[in-house]
Amino acid sequence: MSEEQVQAQTGPTFNAVLRPHRSLSPLGFFVLMSLIGLVSFIVGMYFLILGAWPITGFFGLDVALMYWAFKLSYRSGLEYETVELSSERLRLTHFDPRGERQSIDLNPYWVRVGLTEEHDGRTIMWLASHGREIIFGRFLSDDEKREFAGALSSALSLNKEVRV
Reading the chain (164 residues) residue by residue, the pLDDT tens digits are 333 333 444 555 889 999 998 888 889 999 999 999 999 999 999 999 999 888 888 988 999 999 999 988 888 888 999 999 998 899 999 999 888 999 999 999 899 999 998 888 789 999 999 888 999 999 999 999 999 999 999 999 888 776 65
Is the pTM higher than 0.75? The answer reads no
SS3 77: coil
pLDDT in tens, 108-129: 989 999 999 888 878 999 999 9
Q: What is the number of residues in the chain?
A: 164
Q: In what order do the strands lie in the sheet with 132-135?
A: 112-117, 123-129, 132-135
Classify 3-19+81-163 by CATH class: mainly beta
SS3 52: coil
Cα gap 18→123, rounded to integer Å: 16
Closest CA to 41 of 59, 14, 18, 28: 59
Which neighbouring-strand residues pair with 81? 18, 94
